[in-house]
């Protein structure tokens, strides 16, 4: 007499499967978890590239609008650099959104590569950005502005602040950008890690 294997019914053995899955993932996390600065570095590269791309797209849109309104976008950018108050609410929001999206992408790449501790990977991406910005600022102060690499990248979003000139609007913009980029990186890291949790659930479910 043949016996057919009964299909798995939801709720039967699910508790045990979930417990086994959690224990396996926990052991893997203990061994391979923690901040992966290599993955975070590639996440930072992704964030930088995405920021360049989004800024270029925004610049192209601004150029189209300037042709339609008969204004000079380059002149407007120079005025914003000389006086941070001229950037306006729209410019500040655009800069914040660009960096949020860019660092979300960077955090996602780091979280996807590292597999575990997505929030920490996103934080590491943000710390890479801070570290590299500090190094470039120090080199620029020592060797002069010609070694300011970020300044040579015309597509890179820059805060409309002159050296030694921090107005109230500039401080608010700086804080908003820092918070938005950090939040985007952390959320992106969690999203990248979540993909692997879905794979674990599929692979360890009987």
Cβ density class 12-48: b for 16+ within 10 Å, e for less? eeeeeeeeebeeebeeeeeeeeebbbebbbbbbebbb
Angle formed by the axes of helices 88-114 and 168-203, to 10°? 30
pLDDT band at 49 (very low <50, low <70, confident <90, very high): very high
- Given a contact cutoff of 8 angstroms between Cβ atoms, the answer to whether 137 and 48 are in contact is no
Does residue 122 have a pLDDT over 50? yes
On whether residue 27 sits in a domain, the answer given is no
In a domain, 29, yes or no: no
In a domain, 148, yes or no: yes
Residue pLDDT, tens place only, 167-193: 666 677 788 888 999 999 999 999 988
**153 assigned to some structural domain:** yes
φ/ψ of residue 161, rounded to 5: -130, 135
The kind and range of the H/E element at 182 are helix 168-203
Counting the structural domains of the chain, the total is 1
Under the banding of pLDDT at 50, 70 and 90, the label for residue 46 is: very high
Domain presence at residue 10? no
Secondary structure letter of residue 9 according to DSSP: P
| 74, part of any domain | yes
Q: Containing domain of residue 138, as a range? A: 36-203
Whether 9 is in a domain gets the answer no
């Amino acid at each position: 007499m043949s016996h057919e294997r009964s299909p798995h019914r939801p709720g039967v053995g699910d508790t045990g499967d979930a417990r086994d899955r959690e224990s396996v993932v926990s052991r893997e996390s203990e061994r391979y978890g923690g901040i992966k600065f290599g993955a975070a570095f590639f996440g930072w590269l992704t964030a930088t590239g995405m920021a360049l791309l989004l800024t270029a797209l925004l610049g192209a849109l601004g150029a189209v609008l300037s042709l339609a309104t008969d204004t000079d976008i380059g002149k407007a950018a120079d005025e914003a650099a000389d006086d941070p108050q001229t950037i306006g609410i729209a410019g500040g929001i655009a800069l914040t959104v660009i960096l949020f999206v860019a660092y979300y992408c960077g955090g996602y790449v780091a979280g996807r590569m590292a597999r575990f501790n997505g929030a920490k990977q996103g934080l590491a991406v943000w710390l890479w950005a801070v570290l590299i910005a500090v190094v470039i600022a120090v080199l620029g102060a020592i060797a002069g502005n010609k070694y300011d690499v970020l300044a040579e990248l015309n597509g890179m979003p820059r805060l409309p602040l002159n050296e030694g000139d921090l107005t109230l609007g500039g401080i608010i913009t700086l804080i908003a950008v820092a918070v938005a980029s950090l939040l985007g990186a952390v959320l992106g890291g969690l999203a990248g890690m979540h993909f692997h949790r879905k794979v674990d659930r599929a692979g360890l479910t009987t």
